[in-house]
Structure 1
């Protein structure tokens, strides 16, 4: 990356230095001052072109390190050549004419160069998108392979439309007489384009850093495994040094949450940069407040004082386009934050604390609900609907819905109690009624329990709060397993007990504390019934442990000569028939 950057700034640095020296020696010569400003501004334009071209070259930074496809990189590199040969002189003309005071030169020479520059941008966009191996072809291939999300494809298509529409709109503004406005907008559009490119490079750089970090971690673990094998191998078995294969780590191996975290950080940086670039145009957006969506504002009669009983006043409420757009933006930000901020908190904070998965899930869920509530409140505030305006309506709706939808409200309140009190947590093994399984989700209305057959049972939260629930792992996940063995009464009880204990203690999943125990539970004339109790740390290995112990008990009984089979003798009835005469 450093070498690519240094190769990109050599010629722009010389151009900027020449412009700076011209500005120092210009005195009051307006043309020289304008030329100095033009060279300094053109240096940044040339640096952007050089940096893009060097990143897109064959086996360059984009192809070798970022993993970008070769076809679109070739198309972008060819477009950068045209921007250098044709676009740089046009940019210098626009910058020089804008830096001198003569309006006639601006509106003639400057406007012509500006129109030519916008036409060049459209031609380069066409070459990049519609080349045989351009971006459109690459997006089509990725869409067919299913490697990208639909929202990313829509965003790329939006960028494709904007790459043609924005230069065309700026050219139209310059043609119809709004040349100054077109130039100001073009400067900010160019700065926004730099931010977009910088966001892509920053995102790719962070992912590359994560890839290298995971690769170093894999290499370290490989060395540790090799060292452990060398220590465990006898000295006479060591054959000398050998090289292990380099661990292969792909971007798909990196945690998905880290991808989301990197994406959120890059998006936040991009939005902050856009706010800085477009901050001077914010006052112009106040014109949207003059666009009334309802030509005739509606009125609400209010008391000027909460204690007054007379002198009612009429307050007019209106809804403008600016308020609606602000509420829409707040709603979109709220939806994005409610979906991603809990995951960010879990990655950056909760995983570093001594909390179980249920506690992390509860904190994330409550955070999501709090963000949603605050965002909805702010969105209503943007359209002028405050608490003082709707409190009477909320009170009436609460009473009405409380009677009509009391089950839903009861489940809602019960869901909050489950997240706060936490009688059950995500990951707990519970029994509710005739359903036994793991808690996988706790939502506002219901809780999802997945049983051993991978069937999901949706249990209303009210049933959990008001009903009987058996939580197998609330304070201790230790579980007891019971075996019942029936053998003939001719077997020695002490031998059977010792065999059962030996088999139980030999299994690695059986806990030493509490220790397993076996006892003679019942005896009859022809059989003995033994019960063996073992304890395991959790129920994740319950079925496998039962199979292993049953198989081991059978093998041990056969080895010790204990007949486990038992079959009662059926009574025989003998009938004597009289002999025939």
Structure 2
């Protein structure tokens, strides 16, 4: 009852003033009227809400009364508590907004006073200058510097914030005006929610809900004037130029603080250097005047002082490097932030593209920075080690008396006075040593700290440069660098910059100037080129002779191929080397001259393109490497040689012109000429590829004829059109204005072509090496067989006649196949790594594809995971986002939407391709490189490689599916349904799959086992997921479902023991000596080299047959490999040995006794009997 009475009072108070009721005879304005009116209307609404008595105390009182009530159930209490918490939050927010509005109003009124204070402060800072007295000690200076450095860092942070204030303020203005536009709708929605309360709801819940609505309306009413006051404050500050003045003040404070820090550091350096110099001088004097006994100690003190001075000098150098590194880091941070803001505010325009390209070229080389950091690590480690040594030496001086007594003990002085004088001198020397060590340790610590800070700063620079490069690379290729070529091409677009004779005269002048500075370099280079030119005919003649020798089938040396490669390179390097030397010296001698530098760069690009093309042309020369050593078809080499010559003649001049223009300053207006030359160059490359890869008549004509049905044959037209359209697409990009993008992609494509050509050359060289090694091994084996045959003819052996044995030889075909598989796998891995290194700087541009989502997936994220883990990876493209509002405690999960873009699909396809290639090659590479070196049999190796292949496919499928949003938590219901359905429709396939896994783990059969299934015997050749292949003795494959091996009967001849028995039945004629026959059989078995001694062979007299005396010979073999050959040998030997021993092998006989015959037959036979 107490709760109900209190509730009635609260309801009357809220209903009378907070939610549209009457208060003091005055009706409250509706939400729309409230926002359409001026601030006085909002103020009246606020006052009416205040008059309603809606306070924190009343809300808290209702919550406590509901919590302590025994009349309410737990669900109602929970709802009341939640609504009261929301009302309290809204009331606190309303109070904060009201205070914020008053503060902004006060700040706007005080703008003039702030401007005056800032200007006065600026005047004071400009006149301020700090000088340090000469007598200040080193320790005091260091303490003052330690106090100033944090202040300097704080002022720099304030300057960064001040520089970003204009952009931040513009963003705040947009957000606040957008929020102002949404407040009326929020008020209207709040009023509707307050009016449409559930009729069947408990009265306490209704009261709490009305309180929450009133509190939210109060907060919304206070938010509008707060935003308006803040906007007014911004207007007042902008009118007084307060933001710029604050930025100027921060800048001036940073300059003053920086000057103070620099003065302190310079003073500290001077004091430290003076102290070190004085210590060195003093140590030298002490070493000269020291007692002979203490001479070594004084000399060591002098060395310590000099080391302390050297450390001081090293510290000065490291400190200068640290200052420069910090300056570069701060400049990069500021430049990066400014660039990001320009891109966000302006967009990807042509001017932004020019800025990004300029900044990309001006960025420091991260590789050089990383090299410097790596080399400095050794210095840091050495300094740290020396510090430990100095500390140990200093620790020995903790008890100087022990050192003094040691010195006195090493002398033979007898007079007490002399010993006293020596003791005093020893104490002085040790005291000096302690001082010098303290100074050395202090300087070394400072030097060590500086090196560590320098290392950290340069690592930060490396990370920042890489992030900056990635940011630029993500955008610069998508920005047009010019307009359409037709709009750029004008009669006055060129100022004859390239054809100016005066500018071309600068090139020989620069070279002449460089010749005078380096008089020996040019004669040496010309001498090398002259020798190469003079020996060209000799090189060609020798190359032809080597090729003729290499084509002989008996060539078994790799040296001629290496010599032919060197001769080919010498033939190809003449003119490209000359151009490259001129380009090198011209770039060195340019000294900032634009035209000379552009010509040097153009010649360098010409050399970079000419050398690979000329080298490959010389490789395809008649009787060259390709024909004589690699065995390439002559038709293919002739086609390549002719088209490479055409490409060199037409493409290289265009390359020189394009590269020269590309390096020069684009402000001269030569873009049209440059792009036209680039388009012509791309057309020349397209023509070259069309003639080389022409389907049915290109360089792969004979290869396809011998490899029909392969990938190259099936995709012949695909490769052809890909090669032709690639350069044409680049030409189209240049025509449409994306010339910078076309240039970058063209050089990457050319580098890819050169890399692939280099891999082809390396593979051909390795295959040649394999071939000559195989020839050499084959010849050696033939010689060994001939020698063994000759020795066998001369020697007598106890081997029974008819038994032939062969010496084991290396399987050259299997060895060559394994080597080629290893070579193919290595080449594939090298190709992937090389392509990654070539295209790694272009790949970030693909991240722009994330802006166009293909579909969206929704995932459920638990609240704990949301708080603990980031939902997205850091993105440099976007500014830091505001933290999301705290979720109600009653909401344990939330839904997160993730967009799947084209880049996700492309990455999934790439992962699928890599998975496919890896599943086919990695198991073979694992077997060749690792498993064959381990003591494992073939079946274990096969099981391991199969499981590795399955694991690669499974892992690749999981990663690829996760990239396109197919995670297990989302598709597990589909997998369950499919499993349930397939369990009925494809139960046999699933049973065979599980049986295949059991076979791989349990191994009832293994690859290489000899088995009998369904009266079919053979060797297990393959174990697949669904079925196993058995190759019978007729070389036919018998495919058996895996389930048959698990659920059916199986005879495995070689499962646990490969020993097998041979049973030979022999029948001899009646009257033969059976004991002698048995001895002959045992002797034949025991003398055969392949028959086991244990278990022993056995010969038994089995039975009396109809026509023979039956004997049986039982012998055992270690395996099944030579079973048929042994049976043949035994049969042959038994037949020969029985004939020699006079033992007759019986054959079936039948005696016919005629009891009666027909009369006609008897009459016919009578004359013959008489005649006989």
Shared fold (TM-score, shorter chain, > 0.5): yes
Does 1:288 find its partner at 2:843?
A: no
Please tell me whether the aligned partners of residues 487 and 566 of structure 1 are also in contact (alpha carbons under 8 angstroms).
no
Partner of 1:564: 1146
Please tell me whether the aligned partners of residues 428 and 472 of structure 1 are also in contact (alpha carbons under 8 angstroms).
yes
Alpha-carbon displacement from aligned partner over 1:180-232 (angstroms, at most 9, x marks no partner): 22222222121122122212212212211212222232343345446556766
Please tell me whether the aligned partners of residues 692 and 698 of structure 2 are also in contact (alpha carbons under 8 angstroms).
no
| Alignment partners' CA distance in 2, 1:301 and 1:259 | 50
Counterpart of 2:751 (choices 184, 191, 198) is 191
Does 1:34 find its partner at 2:598?
A: yes
Does 1:201 find its partner at 2:201?
A: no
Does 1:514 find its partner at 2:1095?
A: yes
Partner of 2:1010: 429
Alpha-carbon displacement from aligned partner over 1:370-414 (angstroms, at most 9, x marks no partner): 111111111111112223333454456556655665543343232
Counterpart of 1:272 (choices 820, 833, 842) is 833
Q: CA deviation at 1:518?
A: 1.1
Counterpart of 1:324 (choices 893, 905, 910) is 905
Partner of 1:532: 1113
Counterpart of 1:447 (choices 1013, 1028, 1034) is 1028
Partner of 1:50: 614
| Alignment partners' CA distance in 2, 1:299 and 1:84 | 56
- Inter-CA distance 267–452: structure 2 relative to 1 (3 Å threshold): closer
| Alignment partners' CA distance in 2, 1:299 and 1:376 | 21
Alpha-carbon displacement from aligned partner over 1:82-113 (angstroms, at most 9, x marks no partner): 34433222211111111111244441321222
Please tell me whether the aligned partners of residues 594 and 664 of structure 2 are also in contact (alpha carbons under 8 angstroms).
yes
SS at match of 1:293: strand
Counterpart of 1:262 (choices 820, 823, 843) is 823
Does 1:379 find its partner at 2:960?
A: yes
Counterpart of 2:933 (choices 332, 352, 373) is 352
Alpha-carbon displacement from aligned partner over 1:421-440 (angstroms, at most 9, x marks no partner): 32221111123453332212
Please tell me whether the aligned partners of residues 523 and 529 of structure 1 are also in contact (alpha carbons under 8 angstroms).
yes
- Inter-CA distance 313–256: structure 2 relative to 1 (3 Å threshold): same
| Alignment partners' CA distance in 1, 2:919 and 2:954 | 10
| Alignment partners' CA distance in 2, 1:514 and 1:148 | 54
Please tell me whether the aligned partners of residues 501 and 518 of structure 1 are also in contact (alpha carbons under 8 angstroms).
yes
Partner of 1:167: 727
Partner of 2:645: 81
SS at match of 2:755: helix
Please tell me whether the aligned partners of residues 590 and 597 of structure 2 are also in contact (alpha carbons under 8 angstroms).
yes
Number of residues of Structure 1 aligned to a counterpart in Structure 2: 553
Please tell me whether the aligned partners of residues 334 and 375 of structure 1 are also in contact (alpha carbons under 8 angstroms).
yes
Q: TM-score, normalised by structure 2?
A: 0.44
- Inter-CA distance 40–386: structure 2 relative to 1 (3 Å threshold): same
Does 1:71 find its partner at 2:635?
A: yes
| Alignment partners' CA distance in 2, 1:300 and 1:382 | 14
| Alignment partners' CA distance in 2, 1:52 and 1:105 | 37
Q: Which of 199-208 and 517-526 deviates more? A: 517-526
Partner of 2:1052: 471
| Alignment partners' CA distance in 2, 1:215 and 1:106 | 60
- Inter-CA distance 401–494: structure 2 relative to 1 (3 Å threshold): same
Does 1:496 find its partner at 2:1057?
A: no
| Alignment partners' CA distance in 2, 1:483 and 1:223 | 38
Partner of 2:210: none
Alpha-carbon displacement from aligned partner over 1:336-371 (angstroms, at most 9, x marks no partner): 111122122222222333322212211221111111
Partner of 1:239: none
- Inter-CA distance 550–49: structure 2 relative to 1 (3 Å threshold): closer
Q: Give the root-mean-square deviation of aligned CA atoms.
A: 3.5
Q: CA deviation at 1:81?
A: 3.1
- Inter-CA distance 316–67: structure 2 relative to 1 (3 Å threshold): same
Counterpart of 1:217 (choices 777, 786, 791) is 777
Structure 1's unaligned 5+ residue stretches are 236-250, 576-581
SS at match of 2:1101: strand
User: Larger % of helix: which?
Assistant: 2
Please tell me whether the aligned partners of residues 510 and 534 of structure 1 are also in contact (alpha carbons under 8 angstroms).
yes
Q: CA deviation at 1:17?
A: 2.2
Structure 2's unaligned 5+ residue stretches are 1-564, 796-811, 866-888, 1158-1172
- Inter-CA distance 341–510: structure 2 relative to 1 (3 Å threshold): same
Please tell me whether the aligned partners of residues 661 and 670 of structure 2 are also in contact (alpha carbons under 8 angstroms).
yes
Counterpart of 2:660 (choices 96, 105, 109) is 96
| Alignment partners' CA distance in 2, 1:171 and 1:328 | 28
Q: CA deviation at 1:151?
A: 0.5
Please tell me whether the aligned partners of residues 629 and 768 of structure 2 are also in contact (alpha carbons under 8 angstroms).
yes
| Alignment partners' CA distance in 2, 1:229 and 1:553 | 25
Counterpart of 1:18 (choices 575, 582, 589) is 582
Does 1:112 find its partner at 2:672?
A: no
SS at match of 1:514: coil
SS at match of 2:841: helix
- Inter-CA distance 137–322: structure 2 relative to 1 (3 Å threshold): closer
| Alignment partners' CA distance in 2, 1:10 and 1:526 | 92
Please tell me whether the aligned partners of residues 640 and 699 of structure 2 are also in contact (alpha carbons under 8 angstroms).
no
| Bigger radius of gyration | 2
Alpha-carbon displacement from aligned partner over 1:112-159 (angstroms, at most 9, x marks no partner): 2222222322343344456xxx9825534443x434552023455444
Partner of 1:248: none
- Inter-CA distance 180–539: structure 2 relative to 1 (3 Å threshold): closer
Alpha-carbon displacement from aligned partner over 1:2-27 (angstroms, at most 9, x marks no partner): 12122322322222222222222222
| Alignment partners' CA distance in 1, 2:793 and 2:915 | 59
| Alignment partners' CA distance in 2, 1:105 and 1:561 | 111
Q: CA deviation at 1:445?
A: 2.3
| Alignment partners' CA distance in 2, 1:35 and 1:363 | 60
Please tell me whether the aligned partners of residues 342 and 368 of structure 1 are also in contact (alpha carbons under 8 angstroms).
yes
| Alignment partners' CA distance in 2, 1:442 and 1:127 | 46
| Alignment partners' CA distance in 2, 1:372 and 1:142 | 31
Partner of 1:578: none
Q: Which of 79-88 and 203-212 deviates more? A: 79-88
Please tell me whether the aligned partners of residues 504 and 516 of structure 1 are also in contact (alpha carbons under 8 angstroms).
yes
User: Larger % of strand: which?
Assistant: 1
Alpha-carbon displacement from aligned partner over 1:11-57 (angstroms, at most 9, x marks no partner): 22222222222222222321111122222222212212321221122
| Alignment partners' CA distance in 2, 1:499 and 1:46 | 81
- Inter-CA distance 309–351: structure 2 relative to 1 (3 Å threshold): farther
Q: CA deviation at 1:267?
A: 2.7
Partner of 1:121: 685
Q: CA deviation at 1:484?
A: 3.3
- Inter-CA distance 234–489: structure 2 relative to 1 (3 Å threshold): closer
